[in-house]
Amino acid sequence: MIQERLVEYEHAGTLLEGFLAYDDAEVAARPAVMIVHAWAGRSEFECNKARALAELGYIGFAADVYGKGVLGSSKEENAGLMQPFLNDRALLQSRLTAALETLGSQPEVDSAQMAAMGFCFGGLCVLDIARVGTDIKGVVSFHGLFGAPENTTGVKIKAKVLALHGHEDPMVPVDAVVALEKELTEAGADWQIHVYGNTLHAFTNPLANDPDFGTAYNEAADKRSWQALLNFLEELF
């Protein structure tokens, strides 16, 4: 049976709250996947991904970057929550490390078998987890932002990297994809980028419906990217 619990943790004076899901039919420690939220904050979308992973036998953990109960409700609020972390990538990276350490300390988790995935802003977050040389199995970015930080030049990437990207995403143009390919290659990463044609930003989110802003749900890309995730996790674990 799938069990759920909220997990409080702290970083730099901020109280954070993650969401953990697992199947209690398994008693041994098992692989875990951390899910990093989009720019609005940890929502039911990410919690549902944790539940789906738990159904597959993994531990799912929807992490929190902004703080317990902090959730944006408009583009302006979301941008205001996200921007401080884009401005201070070292702070972001440290906060993500705290979330991973929290996940690894849970009794159900095999801390040597962990991965991270994220959506939009969370996609950038998991790429940064890899960029700082974190020793986890892999990271998966769903329609993530690709902009590189300035503090990871020369760091070798240990985690395998999978980026799932919509070709028509106006927030990540083709030159940004090429730049990421170059960056990952120079960092010695085992990387893959899957590009879905005729696909905008936020393609996994059924509520995304603002093509003028560059966001729209795409059922085919959603299904293909989820299958790519499952294949990747099977390879990792």
Residues 83-121 have pLDDT tens digits of 999 999 999 999 999 999 999 999 999 999 999 999 999
Percent of the chain with pLDDT over 90: 100
Per-residue confidence (pLDDT) for residue 193, from 0 to 100: 98
Per-residue confidence (pLDDT) for residue 58, from 0 to 100: 98
Mean pLDDT, all residues of the chain: 98
Burial class (CB in 10 A: 0-12, 13-18, 19+), 84: exposed
Per-residue confidence (pLDDT) for residue 222, from 0 to 100: 98
Per-residue confidence (pLDDT) for residue 200, from 0 to 100: 98
Residues 196-227 have pLDDT tens digits of 999 999 999 999 999 999 999 999 999 999 99
Per-residue confidence (pLDDT) for residue 180, from 0 to 100: 98
Q: What are phi and psi of 149, to 5 degrees?
A: -75, 170
Residue pointed to by tokens 């106006």: 170
Average pLDDT over residues 54-82: 98
Q: Measured between alpha carbons, how far is 75 from 60 in angstroms, rounded to an integer?
A: 27
Query: For the chain, which residues make up each domain, given as ranges?
Result: 2-236
Residue pointed to by tokens 């986890």: 136
Residues 222-234 have pLDDT tens digits of 999 999 999 999 9
| Secondary structure in 3-state letters for the chain | CEEEEEEEEEECCEEEEEEEEEECCCCCCEEEEEEECCCCCCCHHHHHHHHHHHHCCCEEEECCCCCCCCCCCCHHHHHHHHHHHHHCHHHHHHHHHHHHHHHHCCCCEEEEEEEEEEECHHHHHHHHHHHCCCCCCEEEEECCCCCCCCCCCCCCCCCEEEEEEECCCCCCCHHHHHHHHHHHHHCCCCEEEEEECCCCECCCCCCCEECCCCEECCHHHHHHHHHHHHHHHHHHC
Which pLDDT band holds residue 14 (cuts at 50, 70, 90)? very high
pTM (two decimals): 0.98
CATH number of the domain located at residue range(s) 2-236 in this protein = 3.40.50.1820
Which pLDDT band holds residue 189 (cuts at 50, 70, 90)? very high
Q: Measured between alpha carbons, how far is 91 from 112 in angstroms, rounded to an integer?
A: 24
